Structure 1
Amino acid sequence: MKNRGEDMTIREIIIKYSQELEKISDTPRLDVELFLQKALGDVDRIYIHLNLNKELTKEQYNEFLGYINDRINGRPVAYIVGNREFMGLDFFVKEGVLIPRPDTETLVEEIIELCKNKNEEINIVDIGTGSGAITVSLAKYIENSKVISLDISDIPLEVGKINAVSNGVDDKIEFIKSDVFSGIKDRVDKFDIIVSNPPYIPRKDIETLHTQVKDYEPYNALEGGEDGLDFYRQITEESVEYLNQGGILAYEVGHDQAEDVSKIMKYHGYDKIYTKKDIQGIDRVVIGFKL
């Protein structure tokens, strides 16, 4: 193997740095290929696979090495490359917003399924904009939807707007700075669906999270109080005032929280409560209907 990094071929770089990332990443080769795509000018993965014998310039190699060092130090891949795929859509992400996760697709898919035979306009509130993954996906895939996206922090609202524009649904979404429902408390109209993936990690468990989560992702998007259920209690109690009769309250929940969240919803009068498992077989979604 050549000594000077900038003379290494794409194939040699993939082999060498995939091995280096094996200890810290579940997808070392994918990480390396994503960093190469970015260093080579945001090319696609097909380009990488068709140009395995191509050598990097010194500038390209140094840029690539910067990404590798960031990853070794624990920075999440999505923050390094600046995007993450969710529901077949591309989302811009940066530090200050929660990175979209495949588990959350279960929640979005279930809401889409519940709406598929409804022809009238569907008014949705998403509590906790984050990157806009839930908000934008629902606006994109539910044709007759209007979505209000609420977040207490400025960065998620900024990022959410960017992703709404890039995915062509900014005309269907209203972004509002709000502590839970505070930003819409004067609205007269009620809503058909309230959805949330709230912070649900118990306070004591935050320090046990992987470095790339606890040290980089926003704390206020993770911590859900002493038992992780604070936001479920608040949102459920207040949601009754904002939902139409027969309206839907839909949550993503932590791996062991479905039963507790179902009880909270039942206590506040929700009916026909059910759970939905994610791809790993974990009860990830809880749905209830307002009587």
Structure 2
Amino acid sequence: MRIAIRRPFPPGGRNGIQSRGRGQPAAGGGVRTRVETTGGGGSGGGAAAPARRGDGRWTVLEVVAWIAGDLARRGVSSPRLDAELLVGHALGTSRVGLYVRHDAPLTEAERAAVREALRRRRAGEPVAYITGHREFWSVDLRVDRRVLVPRPETEVLVEEAFAALADEAAPWRVVDVGTGCGAIAAVVAKHRPAARVTALDVSAEALAVARENVTRLGLAERVDLCEAEGAAWLAARPSSFDAVLANLPYVATGEFPGLQVEVREHEPRGALDGGPDGLREIRRVVPAAAAALRPGGFLGLEIGADQGEAVVALCAAAGLVAPAVRRDYAGLCRVVTARRAS
């Protein structure tokens, strides 16, 4: 079978994708590449952020610069971004706010908060867990250790979904399988205001986070949250949906030792582990999604970089048509799309 591989639009392109600094994924970036460890370098594992220089207190930007240097020495791939987010969180301000008060000295309480945030980051904890927030498609989401950190790569799946659900006023019926913190469900509901979205997850803890997000965003009336196993739930609802979107576990079990420390040791393994070949859940969901779609309906799946051919074959075996592989902005195969025949 010939696989269609579609190149991404340029960074900053359509549907709200914003170009990101090289460090953006480090607050919870792609899980397929080991890009950082935070235990080495510097002066051991303690978090002795600067308190004084001579007889003067450190200013906001001096502390940011010092932390950025410390994280860079420890191999963090986005030291400046991480430093700004950590200091902003400790001071209760935004990254822009740091520059507004760039020359203000830190109080002792502020220095203590900065030291605690730095201690946690040095231990490999994702920035998003420390701050409790992550932006996804310009939506601010609450996150913690109960859910995966939303990643920029998943915005490629959302972009494909919006291309398929082009009519913004249509009453689309959409399912988000493996919703986690509710990122995909919330963004679809926000940008397709007549749509009805069902968000599924097997984890009650993850659904509690998703519920907090959709409620805070004013979307609770149009996003239904359901604790259910995706394949079985879809199979029981034939020809019911215009789109099924799924970011399922796709990391092969044997790949875990090679993951980033922040992923391997901090994020929920159940949301990552896709079995021996990474396709255990995808293999179950594809035929169920094919049955649940209405004629002409759209299936979008996030995948691992080496899984495109296998997932396209699964779609074809389920009777779906026009399977295609979409690359992310790093040039890696990241999303498979297909449709039910009209």
Q: TM-score normalized by structure 1?
A: 0.94
Between 1:118-127 and 1:201-210, the stretch displaced more is 118-127
Which residue among 274, 277, 282 is the counterpart of 1:232? Answer: 282
Residues 244 and 72 (structure 1 numbering): CA distance in 2 closer, same or farther, change over 3 Å? same
Find the aligned partners of 2:78 and 2:187 in 1 and give their Cα distance. Answer: 25
Structure 2 equivalent of residue 80 of structure 1: 130
Does 2:277 match 1:261? no
Letter in 1 for 2:316: K
Find the aligned partners of 2:56 and 2:95 in 1 and give their Cα distance. Answer: 20
- Describe the superposition over 1:223-262 as per-residue Cα deviations: whole angstroms up to 9, x where unpaired: 1011011111100122233111221111011111111100
Letter in 2 for 1:163: N
Find the aligned partners of 1:245 and 1:220 in 2 and give their Cα distance. Answer: 33
Residues 185 and 144 (structure 1 numbering): CA distance in 2 closer, same or farther, change over 3 Å? same
Letter in 2 for 1:231: E
Find the aligned partners of 1:14 and 1:279 in 2 and give their Cα distance. Answer: 28
User: Structure 1 residue 154: deviation in Å?
Assistant: 1.2
Residues 89 and 140 (structure 1 numbering): CA distance in 2 closer, same or farther, change over 3 Å? same
Structure 2 equivalent of residue 33 of structure 1: 84
Find the aligned partners of 1:198 and 1:174 in 2 and give their Cα distance. Answer: 19
Find the aligned partners of 1:57 and 1:151 in 2 and give their Cα distance. Answer: 43
Structure 2 equivalent of residue 24 of structure 1: 75
Find the aligned partners of 1:67 and 1:163 in 2 and give their Cα distance. Answer: 23
User: Structure 1 residue 117: deviation in Å?
Assistant: 3.1
Aligned to 2:103, the other structure's residue is in SS state coil
Structure 2 equivalent of residue 156 of structure 1: 206
Structure 2 equivalent of residue 47 of structure 1: 97
Q: How does 1:182-261 map to 2 (within 5 A)?
A: 182-183=232-233, 187=237, 190-261=240-311
User: Structure 1 residue 270: deviation in Å?
Assistant: 0.6
Find the aligned partners of 1:180 and 1:37 in 2 and give their Cα distance. Answer: 38
Between 1:235-244 and 1:256-265, the stretch displaced more is 235-244
Aligned to 1:234, the other structure's residue is in SS state helix
Find the aligned partners of 1:118 and 1:27 in 2 and give their Cα distance. Answer: 36
Structure 1: runs of 5+ lacking an equivalent: none
User: Structure 1 residue 186: deviation in Å?
Assistant: 5.2
Find the aligned partners of 2:65 and 2:242 in 1 and give their Cα distance. Answer: 51
Instruction: Indicate the structure with greater helix content.
Output: 1
- Describe the superposition over 1:101-157 as per-residue Cα deviations: whole angstroms up to 9, x where unpaired: 000000001111111137541101111011111111111112221100000001211
Between 1:149-158 and 1:43-52, the stretch displaced more is 43-52
Find the aligned partners of 1:113 and 1:5 in 2 and give their Cα distance. Answer: 59
Q: How does 1:9-158 map to 2 (within 5 A)?
A: 9-22=59-72, 23-41=74-92, 43-117=93-167, 119-158=169-208
User: Structure 1 residue 11: deviation in Å?
Assistant: 2.2
Residues 83 and 118 (structure 1 numbering): CA distance in 2 closer, same or farther, change over 3 Å? closer
Find the aligned partners of 1:4 and 1:192 in 2 and give their Cα distance. Answer: 65
- How many pairs align? 290
Find the aligned partners of 1:241 and 1:70 in 2 and give their Cα distance. Answer: 45
Between 1:111-120 and 1:247-256, the stretch displaced more is 111-120
User: Structure 1 residue 5: deviation in Å?
Assistant: 10
Find the aligned partners of 1:151 and 1:68 in 2 and give their Cα distance. Answer: 32
Q: Using CA pairs below 8 Å that are at least 6 residues apart, which structure has the higher relative contact order?
A: 2
Residues 151 and 259 (structure 1 numbering): CA distance in 2 closer, same or farther, change over 3 Å? same
Runs of 4 or more consecutive aligned structure 1 residues displaced over 4 Å after TM superposition: 3-6, 183-189
User: Structure 1 residue 45: deviation in Å?
Assistant: 1.8
Structure 1 equivalent of residue 326 of structure 2: 276
How large is the Cα RMSD of the aligned pairs?
1.9
Contact 1:127/1:195 (<8 A) preserved: yes
Residues 184 and 240 (structure 1 numbering): CA distance in 2 closer, same or farther, change over 3 Å? closer
Contact 2:201/2:229 (<8 A) preserved: yes
- Describe the superposition over 1:83-117 as per-residue Cα deviations: whole angstroms up to 9, x where unpaired: 01110110100001010000000000111111113
Aligned to 1:171, the other structure's residue is in SS state coil
Letter in 2 for 1:156: A
Letter in 2 for 1:286: V
User: Structure 1 residue 182: deviation in Å?
Assistant: 3.7
Structure 1 equivalent of residue 222 of structure 2: 172
Residues 185 and 289 (structure 1 numbering): CA distance in 2 closer, same or farther, change over 3 Å? closer
Find the aligned partners of 1:30 and 1:4 in 2 and give their Cα distance. Answer: 27
Aligned to 1:254, the other structure's residue is in SS state coil
Residues 161 and 48 (structure 1 numbering): CA distance in 2 closer, same or farther, change over 3 Å? same
